Amino acid sequence: MSSPAFESSMRPPAPVYLVGKGVILETLRRKDVYVLLILSLLFVAGIFVISLVGIENAATSTFLLNLGMSLAYFFAHLLTLLSAARQIPAELENRTLYPILAKPLSRGQYYLGKWLAVWLSGVVTLVVLFLLGWLPVPRMETYSSLLLAQTFVLYVCSLALTASVAMFLSLVMPRGSSMILLALLLFAGGKIIGWIHDSSQHLPLSRVIHWGIAYIPDFSLLNLTTRYTDGIDPLSLPQFCGLILYGSIFTAFFLALGTLLFRKRSL
Amino acid sequence: MRSLLLISKSVLIEGVRRKEIYAIVLFSLILIAGVMSVDFFEIRGLTKFYREMALAIMSIATAITVIVLSCRQLPREFEKKTIYPLMAKPISRMIFLSGKLLGVLLSAAFCFLLFMIVYVAGTLYLGGTIPWMHFAEYIYLQMLMMTVLSTLGFFLSLVMNLDAAVTLGVIFYFTSSVFTTGITFIYEFMGLGGKTVLVVLNYILPQLTLFDLSGKILHSVQWPPLGWTTMAALTLYALLFSGVYYLFAILAFRRREL
Amino acid sequence: MSEHDPKSGARKILLSGVLVLFLLSPVITIHLDPAGYQGGRSRDIRDRSLRNQSAAGIILGELRTSMSDLMFIKTELYLHSGVAYQLNLDYDAMSSRGQVRDLKENGKPSIPEPTPPGHSLKGPGQDLKHPFEEEIDHSHHDDHDHVHPPGEEDTHFHCEGAKTVIPTEREDFRGFIGKLHREVKPWLDPSKPHKHTDGTELLPWYRLMTLSDPHNIRAYMIGAWWLKRFRKKPQLKEAEKFLEEGIRNNPKAFQLYLMLGHVNRAMGDNGKAMGNYRKAAEMALEVRPPGGREGPDWTNYNEEDALASLRLAVFTEEEFGSKEAALALARRYLQAVEGDAILQRHVDQLSGSQPQSEDN
Inform me whether the C-beta atom of residue C66 falls under 8 Å from chain A C-beta atoms: yes
Contact between chains at C21 and A221 (C-beta distance less than 8 A):
no
The residue in chain B having the minimum alpha-carbon distance to the alpha carbon of residue A37 is B164
The CA–CA distances, whole Å, from C351 to C197, C278, C327, C356 equal 46, 21, 7, 8
Furthest-apart CA atoms within chain A: distance in Å: 76
**Which of A35, A38, A53 has its CB closest to that of B189?**
A53
Predicted local confidence at residue C126, as pLDDT? 39
Burial class (CB in 10 A: 0-12, 13-18, 19+), C250: middle
Contact B184 C172 (CB under 8 A): yes
Question: Which domain covers residue B220, as residue numbers?
Answer: 2-171+204-255
Q: How far apart are CA B154 and CA B165, in angstroms?
A: 9
- The shortest CB-CB distance from B182 to any of C59, C77, C235 is to C59
Strand partners, C295: C298
With CA atoms as reference, report the closest residue to B60 among B100, B111, B12: B111
- Do A38 and B34 make contact, defined as CB atoms within 8 angstroms? no
Q: Note whether A176 contacts B160, CB cutoff 8 Å.
A: no
Same-domain pairing of C220 and C343:
yes
The contacts found for C325-334 with CB under 8 angstroms, 24 or more apart, are: C326/C350, C327/C351, C327/C354, C327/C357, C333/C281, C333/C285
Q: Is there a contact between C345 and C314 (Cβ–Cβ < 8 Å)?
A: no
Supply the pLDDT for residue C20.
93
> How far is it, in rounded angstroms, from Cα C279 to Cα C313?
8
B190 contacts chain A (CB < 8 A): yes
How many helices (H) and strands (E) are present in chain B, helices listed first?
Answer: 11, 0
- Radius of gyration over every alpha carbon of chain A, rounded to an integer in angstroms: 21
Tell me whether residues A227 and C40 touch, CB distance under 8 A: yes
Same domain (yes/no): C233, C319? yes
Residue B144 lies in a domain: yes
pLDDT band at A150 (very low <50, low <70, confident <90, very high): very high
Say yes or no to pLDDT of B12 above 80.
no
Please determine, for residue B65, whether its predicted confidence score (pLDDT) is greater than 60.
yes
Which residues of C are less than 8 Å from B185 in CB distance? 55, 58-59
Contacts of C185 in chain B (CB under 8 A): 209, 212, 215-216
Q: Is A181 on the interface with B (CB under 8 A)?
A: yes
Same-domain pairing of C162 and C241: no
Host H or E run for residue B180:
helix B176-186
Give per-residue pLDDT as tens, A55-81.
888 888 999 999 999 999 999 999 899
Of B92 and A186, the one with more pLDDT? A186
Contact assessment for residue B107 and residue B10, using Cβ atoms and an 8 Å cutoff: no
Please state the rounded mean pLDDT for residues A105-122.
90
CA distances from C278 to C281, C321, C325 (A): 5, 12, 12
Q: Return mean pLDDT, chain C.
A: 76
Q: How far is CA B10 from CA A62, A176, B20, in A?
A: 51, 20, 15
Q: Is the model more confident about B9 or about A256? A: A256
Helix (H, G, I), strand (E, B) or coil at C298: strand
Residue B88 within any structural domain of the chain: yes
Rounded to a whole number of angstroms, the distance from the CA of A211 to the nearest CA of chain C is: 6
DSSP state of C46: H
Pick left, alpha or beta for residue A14 (phi over 0 → left; psi -120 to 50 → alpha; otherwise beta): beta
- Whether A53 sits inside 8 A of B161 (CB atoms) is no
Partners of C59 on chain B (C-beta within 8 Å) are 178, 181-182, 185-186
Using the CB atoms, write b or e for C286-325: b if 16+ within 10 Å. eebeeebebeeeebbbbbbbbbbbbbbbbbbbbeebeeee
List CB contacts of A154: < 8 A, sequence separation 6 or more: A222, A223, A224, A243, A244, A247
Specify the long-range contacts of residues C9-15, CB closer than 8 Å, at least 24 apart: C11/A108, C14/A256, C15/A256, C15/A260
Question: Of C15, C22, C65, which is closest to A66 when you measure between CB atoms?
Answer: C65
Q: Is residue B191 part of a domain?
A: no
Q: Is residue B65 part of a domain?
A: yes
Q: Which of A52, A180, A192 is closest, CB to CB, to B27? A: A180
Alpha-carbon separation of residue A233 from A151, A222, A224, A237, C147 (angstroms): 12, 16, 11, 12, 42
Q: Are residues C209 and C163 in the same domain?
A: no
Res A127 pLDDT > 90: yes
Please give the backbone phi and psi of residue B111, each rounded to the nearest 5 degrees, phi first: -60, -45
Closest CA to B67 of B18, B104, B95: B104
Judged by CB atoms closer than 8 Å, whether chains meet at B43 and C200 is answered as yes
Whether residues C79 and C220 share a domain: the answer is: no
Read off the pLDDT of residues B126-147 as tens digits, 9 standing for 90 and up.
888 889 999 999 999 999 999 9
Give the residues across from C85 on adjacent strands.
C164
How far CA A262 is from CA of A111, A250, C87, C253, in Å, comes to 8, 18, 54, 53
| B165 contacts on A by Cβ (under 8 Å) | none
Angle between helices A107-134 and A58-93 (to 10 degrees): 160
Q: Do A39 and B167 touch (CB under 8 A)?
A: yes
Helix (H) or strand (E) holding A53: helix A33-53
| Domain membership flag for residue B183 | no
**Same structural domain for residues C208 and C338?**
yes
C104 and C75 co-located in one domain: yes
Asked if C184's CB is within 8 angstroms of B41's CB, the reply is no
Q: Which B residues 11-70 touch C at CB under 8 Å?
A: 38-43, 46-50
So what's the pLDDT on residue B92? 80
d(CA B175, CA B172): 5
pLDDT at C153: 40
Average pLDDT along chain A: 86
C residues 74-103 near B, CB within 8 Å? 77-78, 81-82
Measured distance CA(B174)–CA(B32) in Å, rounded: 20
- What does the domain layout of chain A look like in residue ranges? 12-264
Chain A residues 30-49 within an 8 A CB cutoff of chain B: 30-32, 34-35, 38-39, 42, 49
Taking an 8 Å cut-off on Cβ atoms, the answer to whether C82 and B207 are in contact is no
Please give the Cα distance from A133 to B256 (Å, whole number): 37
Distance from CA of A239 to the nearest CA of C (A): 7
Instruction: Check if B215 contacts C (Cβ < 8 Å).
Output: yes
What residues of B are in contact with residue A181 (Cβ under 8 Å)? 27
Q: How confident is the model at residue A255 (pLDDT cuts 50, 70, 90)?
A: very high
Asked whether the beta carbons of C210 and C71 are under 8 A apart, the reply is no
Probe site for chain C from A64, A226, A251 (most C CB atoms < 10 A): A226
Contact status, residue A139 vs residue C41, Cβ threshold 8 Å: no
Neighbours, chain A (3 or more CB pairs < 8 A)? B, C
- What counts of helices (H) and strands (E) characterise chain A? 11, 0
Q: In chain B, whose CA is at the least distance from the CA of C197?
A: B222
Q: Is C102 helix (H, G, I), strand (E, B) or coil?
A: strand
Rg from Cα positions in chain C: 26
pLDDT for C13-44, tens place per residue?
888 999 999 999 999 888 888 888 877 888 77
Using CB atoms, which chains have 3+ pairs under 8 A with C? A, B
Asked whether the beta carbons of B134 and B217 are under 8 A apart, the reply is: yes
For residue C78, give the nearest of B48, B227, B233 by CB distance. Answer: B48
- Rounded to the nearest 5 degrees, what angle is found at the Cα of B176, between the Cα atoms of C70 and A37? 105
Low-confidence ranges of chain C (pLDDT < 50): 1-2, 104-134, 136-159, 356-360
Number of domains in chain C: 2
- Per-residue model confidence (pLDDT) at position A252: 96
* DSSP for C287-321, written as a single string: HPPGGG--BTTB-HHHHHHHHHHHHHHHHHHHHHS
What is the count of structural domains for chain B?
Answer: 1
More confident residue, B247 or B90: B247
From chain A, the residues in CB contact with C54 under 8 A are: 55-57, 59-60, 63
pLDDT digits (tens, 9 = 90+) for A12-70: 567 777 777 777 777 666 666 778 888 888 888 888 888 888 888 888 899 999 999 99
Please provide the DSSP assignment of C266-288 as one string.
HHT-HHHHHHHHHHHHHHHHHHP
* Residue B23 DSSP class: H
State the Cα–Cα distance between residues A162 and A247, nearest whole angstrom.
10
* B20 contacts A176? CB cut-off 8 A: yes
In a domain, B192, yes or no: no
Instruction: Name the residue among A35, A53, A177 with its Cβ closest to that of B163.
Output: A35
Q: CB neighbours of B207 closer than 8 A, spacing ≥ 6?
A: B176, B179, B180, C177, C181
Q: Does C65 lie at the interface with A, CB-CB under 8 angstroms?
A: yes
Q: Which of A119-133, A146-160, C94-108, C153-167 has the lowest mean pLDDT?
A: C94-108
Say what the pLDDT of residue C5 is: 64
* A128, containing H or E segment: helix A107-134
Residue among B163, B179, B197 with most chain A CBs within 10 A, to mutate? B163
Q: Tell me if C242 and B48 make a contact (CB, 8 A cut-off).
A: no
**How far does B116 lie from chain C, in Å, by closest CA?**
20
CB contact under 8 A, B190 and A176: no
Q: Which residue of C has its CA nearest to A218?
A: C29
pLDDT for C145 equals 32
Residue-range definition of the domain harbouring residue C345: 200-353
Give the span between the Cα atoms of C94 and C100, in whole angstroms: 6
C306–chain B nearest CA distance, Å = 28
How far the first Cα of chain B sits from its last, in Å, is 24
Q: What is the 3-state secondary structure (H, E, C) of C202-258?
A: HHHHHHHHHHHCCCCHHHHHHHHHHHHCCCCHHHHHHHHHHHHHHHHHCCCCHHHHH
Q: What is the spatial distance between Cα C33 and Cα C27, in angstroms, rounded to a whole number?
A: 13
CB contact under 8 A, A60 and C54: yes
- Whether the predicted pLDDT of A113 surpasses 80: yes
Domain contains B179: no
* Same structural domain, C293 and C219: yes
> Looking at residue A4, what is its pLDDT?
55
Q: Do A239 and C19 touch (CB under 8 A)?
A: no
Is 60 exceeded by the pLDDT of residue A3? no
In a domain, C332, yes or no: yes
The full length of chain C comes to: 360
For residue B167, give the nearest of A38, A52, A192 by CB distance: A38
Residue C21 maps to a domain: no
Among A42, A43, A50, A60, most C C-beta atoms within 10 A, so best to mutate, is A60
**C-beta atoms surrounding A13 within 10 Å:** 8
The whole-number pLDDT of residue C219 equals 85
The answer to whether C86 and C163 are in contact (CB under 8 A) is: yes
Residue A192 to residue B182, Cβ atoms within 8 A: no
Give the residue-averaged pLDDT of A122-139.
92
